[in-house]
């Protein structure tokens, strides 16, 4: 499963003629799923305490909740095809390149906000968000499914380009007489086109809604489970999609479009 890793190091005090003036430095390192450095930051101030500086940094990174609320930060990456029968390898693997995926639900290419955990009368108890953009999570799930089918995902010399539009990627809560449920929803449209021609090959839309019933209210783990189930359902729908299967089983899907 994917994840987000951050390391925060703080400390230090500078000296002056009148004596030591404390200045707190923060050294922030952020790594990707492969353990490679994505971002680094060094900052400091003589006017702010470590606690205040850390709180402001968390708010700037979307890691702190609104006042009076909890914050659930999740990474609902699909499991590695658990309990699935490995399909027969294709006669000729197709080389896919994953290009632009965008979230159309909001004008925010780095969207991470999923929704709220709510109580009775619509009271918001917690904000729920992902630790990386929706687009990255969906791209990873689609690419993993293509690899699982025996195909290749490459950075160059691709046969087919895959792009996507995500209309919905979120969570909600539903309160009934005896349960307090977590609900996850995904709506994604995938577009497949030949790298050698601008014409589209297939446009496939996949939607999934999953519900997890709880008695005491959804936890962070419950929201992660229900949204992961949506992604795994999307992967299953790709497997059972006759139109997509026809494309994937074609030894040369772009032969008539060059």
**pLDDT confidence tier of residue 41, bands split at 50, 70 and 90:** low
Q: What is the mean pLDDT of residues 223-239?
A: 94
Q: What is the pLDDT of residue 28?
A: 62
So what's the pLDDT on residue 75? 92
Q: How far is residue 51's CA from residue 67's CA, in Å, rounded to a whole number?
A: 16
Specify the pLDDT at position 24: 59
> Is the CB of residue 154 less than 8 Å from the CB of residue 163?
no
- Exposure class string for 147-167: b at 16+ Cβ within 10 A, else e: ebbbbebeeeebbbbbbbbbe
**Given pLDDT bands bounded at 50, 70 and 90, which one contains residue 92?**
confident
Per CATH, the number for 70-248 is 3.40.50.10610
pLDDT at position 13 is 46
What mean pLDDT is predicted for residues 93-98? 93
The reported pLDDT for the residue numbered 145 is 92
Average pLDDT over residues 145-167: 92
Q: Is 163 helix (H, G, I), strand (E, B) or coil?
A: strand
What is the reported pLDDT for 77? 87
Q: What is the pLDDT of residues 125-148, one digit of tens each?
A: 999 999 889 999 999 999 999 998
Give the pLDDT band (50/70/90) at residue 174.
Answer: very high
Average pLDDT over residues 161-190: 94
CA 7, CA 31: separation in Å to the nearest integer? 9
Model-level pTM?
0.72
The DSSP 8-state label assigned to residue 33 in this structure reads T
Max mean pLDDT among 77-81, 210-214, 253-257 falls in: 210-214
pLDDT of amino acid 192: 95
Distance CA 69, CA 192 (A): 42
**What pLDDT was estimated at residue 35?**
64
pLDDT band of residue 167 (cuts 50, 70, 90) is very high
Mean pLDDT, range 69-88, rounded to an integer: 76
3-class secondary structure, 15? strand
Task: Kindly state the tokens that stand for 166.
Answer: 């995500």
What does the domain layout of the chain look like in residue ranges?
5-60, 70-248
Q: Report the run of H or E that residue 174 belongs to, with start and end.
A: strand 160-175
Structure tokens at 66: 């609104």
């Amino acid at each position: 499963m994917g994840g987000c890793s951050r390391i925060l190091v703080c400390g230090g005090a500078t000296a002056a003629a009148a004596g030591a003036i404390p200045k707190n430095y923060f050294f922030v390192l952020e790594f990707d799923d492969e353990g490679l450095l994505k971002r680094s930051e060094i900052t400091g101030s003589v006017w702010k305490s470590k606690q205040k500086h850390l709180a402001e940094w968390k708010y700037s990174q979307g890691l702190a909740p609104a006042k009076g609320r909890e914050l659930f930060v999740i990474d609902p990456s699909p499991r590695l095809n658990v309990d699935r029968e490995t399909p027969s390898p294709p006669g000729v693997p197709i080389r896919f390149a994953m290009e632009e995926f965008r979230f159309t639900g909001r004008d925010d290419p780095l969207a991470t906000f999923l929704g709220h955990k709510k109580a009775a009368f619509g009271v918001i108890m917690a904000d729920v968000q992902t630790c990386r953009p929706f687009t990255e999570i969906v791209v990873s799930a689609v690419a993993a499914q293509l690899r699982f089918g025996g195909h290749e995902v490459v950075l160059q010399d691709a046969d087919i380009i895959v792009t996507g539009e995500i209309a919905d990627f979120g969570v909600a809560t539903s309160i009934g007489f005896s349960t307090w449920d977590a609900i996850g929803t995904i709506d994604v449209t995938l577009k497949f086109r030949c790298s050698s021609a601008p014409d589209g090959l297939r446009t496939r839309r996949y939607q999934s809604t999953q519900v997890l019933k709880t008695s005491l209210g959804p936890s962070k783990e419950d929201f992660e489970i229900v949204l992961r189930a949506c992604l795994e359902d999307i992967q299953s729908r790709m497997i059972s999609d006759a139109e997509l299967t026809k494309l994937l089983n074609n030894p040369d899907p772009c032969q008539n479009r060059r």
